Structure 1
């Protein structure tokens, strides 16, 4: 899985170009992107690269939102297809989230100081736990709103 930005579009040929952070170019079909409103120069997408006889191509594109989250916008092809959310640089399968909570309980010690600031706690099945503060470059209220639409059980608010 890679991340790239749309750097060129040719609607008359149904072709777009994604450029990754190393400057490599990947062709993709404009009609393969859902929703079509996501198509604009600079839009960021997750994609799977493939090498073909025609060169590098991008398949299975998923739109990257700039509010710190990313939701899979690919129409589901299977009943049990996972929904993925991106929070900062972390990519999580929504089905693996055991619960999440907005809280002000002391969460961790950062730089030697205990923090009691408002934060988002996400506990995963298997015991992993992630903690996000607004100053981490993540709008935790937006993340909770997105999670509420995708993960309606076992949510907690502090």
Structure 2
């Protein structure tokens, strides 16, 4: 699969990969314990991941270690929660349901969590630029986000 200049639009890259499942090097699998994931592609300035989500599976609050990116829902429905923290005010969580064919871009300081809250499995394509080196996991409390761990590529995933 030829990938055009991805610095312009990570969502366009995710959409192109979603449009060509016959070219994926693996068939999506499902893990009853946790999300399943496989890196589909890596280049100098980005990487592409395939993820599967059974009902109830999701992530913790996390960021992408300074990488920007996008995701595209290939099949099923996922819910993305984002948080706004304003000094002196309780954090505000906004939820967005994204069905098959929907996608979203995000910047390098994006903190979110994603969950399959539906009753059907879901599959998604994620693009990160540059490639992930760390991910910070958070806990959301009354005062905002508290760092729990910083995971490193190659060590924790």
TM range (shorter): under 0.3
Higher helix residue share: 1
The normalised TM-score by structure 1 is: 0.24
Greater C-alpha Rg: 1
The higher-RCO structure (CA 8 Å, 6+ apart) is 2
